[in-house]
């Protein structure tokens, strides 16, 4: 188990700044998901930790500076998106590869390999070659191979993205259980926000080479600090408004079209300030025009599109000024395209975005 401290790490390729003074602490034994769209620098961050990328700043593991240590001496396990198994080695030999490079007796290697084959349920496949394995099996071999050398840190570079949805979900559970059993500090790079929320102890949201927000899954989902995070983690309906006054636990503000709405109170705000706030689709409340609406808002709209998703439905509504919002409802009240609808929310569910 190890603590990783990344301090002011910057990486640039030519005049392109890929990482912009990124600092991050990975606590011992925690599962950290680095989440962001492609090109945000998340894979570069992983390569910095592994030692495969030139950088300025520092990477410390358990208080020791790793900046001058070459990749092959860092003892950090990596599982790549394409698994990068050695195609000319059997499952067993793949797992033993790192062990054979260390001065370990044959018997100990054998024991360690068997232990990992058991842990990842690969016993029956031990003498197969990578080309004879399915995607999920290859992934397990890659994990076993990385864990074999008892690395200080495990880095996972989008390891689930090549699997189909069902298998991916199974592997998520398995991966998380495995990580907890082994207790290894893990960095998991992904562009899939559901995956990050499902797996991680801590989510790091990255955008354009910067860290946008760090927090527990529920923090970044419920309290996103920026519009980017709000948009990237889950869906959100963002509104522009002008602050009017505070009223108890709520703030009263005016939308561009002049409607008065109430949102949750937060931080220092002053009257007349231009703000952005957001409401999650599942927190929008839809009513028929004549019924009583929620306390936060009462915006008239027309249903433009309905997406049936099995357990829920996504209703796309056009508000005044052609603004589109998306509401997620669990039980359909039978909204149809063209229906007049009133969109509302509870003031507590509408949150100001800081940036």
Q: Is 258 in the site for another protein (CB under 8 A)?
A: no
**Shortest gap between Cβ of 145 and another protein (angstroms)?**
7
User: Cβ neighbours of residue 134 under 8 Å, at least 6 residues apart?
Assistant: none
Residues of span 81-100 touching another protein by CB under 8 A: 81-82, 84-89, 97-98
**Shortest gap between Cβ of 22 and another protein (angstroms)?**
21
Cα separation, 244 vs 276, in Å, equals 14
Burial class from Cβ neighbours inside 10 Å (0-12, 13-18, 19+) for residue 338 reads exposed
Q: Is 182 in the site for another protein (CB under 8 A)?
A: no
Residue choice 6, 45, 78, 286 for contact with another protein (CB under 8 A) = 78
**Shortest gap between Cβ of 175 and another protein (angstroms)?**
18
Q: Are 315 and 302 in contact (CB under 8 A)?
A: no
SS3 240: strand
Using DSSP bridges, classify how beta strands 351-353 and 274-279 pair: parallel, antiparallel or unpaired: antiparallel
Residue choice 30, 145, 168, 191 for contact with another protein (CB under 8 A) = 145
Q: Is 61 in the site for another protein (CB under 8 A)?
A: no
- Comparing CA positions, the residue from 17, 77, 14, 12 lying closest to residue 46 is 77
- Comparing CA positions, the residue from 68, 53, 64, 63 lying closest to residue 22 is 53
Q: Is 63 in the site for another protein (CB under 8 A)?
A: no
Which residues partner with 79 through β-bridges?
A: 156
User: Cβ neighbours of residue 124 under 8 Å, at least 6 residues apart?
Assistant: none
Residue choice 18, 116, 122, 149 for contact with another protein (CB under 8 A) = 149
Q: Are 181 and 121 in contact (CB under 8 A)?
A: no
Using DSSP bridges, classify how beta strands 299-308 and 340-344 pair: parallel, antiparallel or unpaired: antiparallel
Q: Which is nearer to another protein, 42 or 74 (CB)?
A: 74
Q: Which is nearer to another protein, 49 or 350 (CB)?
A: 49
Binding segment (CB under 8 A) for another protein, from list 6-14, 74-82, 187-195, 309-317: 74-82
Q: Is 159 in the site for another protein (CB under 8 A)?
A: no
# residues contacting another protein (CB under 8 A): 33
Q: Which is nearer to another protein, 110 or 201 (CB)?
A: 110
Contact set with another protein (CB under 8 A): 50, 52, 70-78, 80-82, 84-89, 97-98, 101-102, 129-131, 142, 145-146, 148-149, 151
């Amino acid at each position: 188990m190890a603590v990783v401290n990344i301090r002011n790490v910057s990486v640039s390729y030519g005049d392109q700044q890929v990482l912009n003074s990124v600092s991050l602490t990975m606590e011992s034994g925690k599962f950290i998901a680095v989440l962001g769209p492609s090109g945000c620098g998340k894979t570069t961050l992983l390569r910095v930790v592994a030692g495969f990328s030139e950088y300025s700043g520092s990477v410390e593991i358990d208080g020791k500076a790793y900046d001058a240590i070459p990749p092959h001496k860092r003892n950090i396990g990596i599982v790549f998106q394409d698994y990068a198994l050695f195609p000319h080695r059997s499952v067993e030999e793949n797992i033993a590869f790192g062990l054979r490079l260390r001065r370990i007796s044959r018997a100990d290697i054998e024991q360690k390999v068997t232990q990992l084959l058991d842990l990842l349920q690969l016993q029956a496949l031990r003498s197969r070659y990578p080309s004879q394995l399915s995607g999920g099996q290859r992934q397990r071999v890659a994990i076993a191979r990385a864990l074999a050398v008892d690395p200080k840190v495990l880095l996972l570079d989008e390891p689930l993205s090549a699997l189909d949805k069902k298998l991916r979900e199974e592997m998520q559970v398995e991966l998380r259980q495995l990580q907890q059993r082994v207790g290894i500090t893990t960095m998991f790079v992904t562009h899939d926000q559901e995956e990050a929320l499902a797996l991680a102890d801590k989510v790091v949201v990255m955008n354009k080479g910067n860290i946008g927000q760090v927090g527990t899954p529920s923090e970044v989902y419920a309290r996103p600090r920026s519009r980017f995070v709000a948009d990237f983690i889950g869906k959100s309906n963002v509104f522009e408004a002008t602050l009017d006054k505070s009223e108890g636990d709520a703030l009263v503000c005016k939308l561009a079209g002049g409607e008065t709405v109430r949102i949750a109170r937060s931080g220092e705000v002053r009257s007349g300030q231009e703000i952005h706030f957001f409401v999650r689709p599942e927190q929008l409340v839809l009513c028929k025009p004549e019924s009583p609406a929620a306390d936060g808002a009462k915006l008239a709209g027309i249903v433009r599109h309905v997406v049936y998703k099995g357990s829920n439905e996504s209703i796309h509504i056009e508000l005044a000024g052609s603004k589109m919002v998306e509401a997620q409802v669990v039980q359909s009240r039978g909204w149809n395209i063209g229906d007049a609808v009133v969109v509302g929310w509870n003031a507590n569910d509408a949150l100001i975005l800081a940036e």
